[in-house]
Structure 1
Amino acid sequence: MFKPVFAALALAIASASSAHAGDNLLVQRVQQEQAMNLPAKGMSMTEVERRFGTPTSKLDARGGGHPKQPVINRWMYPGYIVYFERSRVIHTVLNTPAGNNKNPSNPL
């Protein structure tokens, strides 16, 4: 009777530790992004290219088939990807080995 209770307790503790470790990694990633000089939300494509140079790659645009689905453009730079809605930055994401943005050429 005690084995299942002990196993469940051990699993709950392990899950809590894992979640806490994940939170720490997220906080570290956000702090790293804030410390870097990255394209800011609202910048135009022209401003980004002038300030950060030509991207290593401009991925195919996605969306745009409906007014509620604007065109999303993605530019790759060494270490990060810049996402644009139409021609304005909406987000900049660091490329990290643990991130899910390892292959941004896949559809959104």
Structure 2
Amino acid sequence: MKSITTLFLVAAMASFAPLTVADVLLIDAISEVPANSSEGLPRPRTGQTMDSVRTQFGTPEQEMPWVGEPPISRWVYADFTVYFEHEYVINTVVHR
């Protein structure tokens, strides 16, 4: 009887093992993004126009055409990617 109880306990504990597995969240990665300043990594700010981004940061390495409605396009630079809605910056993502 004792061996059946032990076996049952081991089986029950094994069934809980998948519940203890966890994924790594990207919250730490977000907090590690360098500051948008001359001391960190200067990059375009929300609301800037395409012309001002090109003037300040130069020609992007790659210009992806717009998709969807409203039109969203992106410019890829060495250290970050800039997302535009129409001609205005909506987000800048730093490359890891």
Normalised by the length of structure 2, the TM-score is: 0.72
Partner amino acid for 2:33? Q
| Aligned-pair identity (%) | 29
Provide closer, same or farther for how the CA distance between residues 85 and 37 of structure 1 changes in structure 2, counting only shifts above 3 A.
same
The match for 2:30 is: 29
Q: Unpaired segments of 5 or more residues in structure 2?
A: 1-7
Cα distance in structure 1, aligned partners of 2:10 and 2:54: 61
Cα distance in structure 2, aligned partners of 1:88 and 1:13: 44
Provide closer, same or farther for how the CA distance between residues 85 and 30 of structure 1 changes in structure 2, counting only shifts above 3 A.
farther
The match for 2:5 is: none
Q: Unpaired segments of 5 or more residues in structure 1?
A: 64-68, 97-108
Structure number with the higher helix fraction is 1
How many positions carry a matched residue from both structures? 85
Partner amino acid for 1:6? M
The match for 1:83 is: 83
Asked if residue 6 in structure 1 is aligned to residue 23 in structure 2, the reply is no
Find the residue that maps to 2:32 and give its secondary structure: helix
Partner amino acid for 2:66? A
Asked if residue 52 in structure 1 is aligned to residue 53 in structure 2, the reply is no
CA displacement at 1:26 relative to structure 2:
2.8
Normalised by the length of structure 1, the TM-score is: 0.65
Cα distance in structure 2, aligned partners of 1:30 and 1:38: 17
Cα distance in structure 2, aligned partners of 1:84 and 1:46: 12
CA displacement at 1:53 relative to structure 2:
1.1
CA displacement at 1:45 relative to structure 2:
0.7
Cα distance in structure 2, aligned partners of 1:42 and 1:4: 58
Cα distance in structure 1, aligned partners of 2:11 and 2:65: 52
Provide closer, same or farther for how the CA distance between residues 44 and 30 of structure 1 changes in structure 2, counting only shifts above 3 A.
farther
Indicate the structure (1 or 2) with the bigger Cα radius of gyration. 2
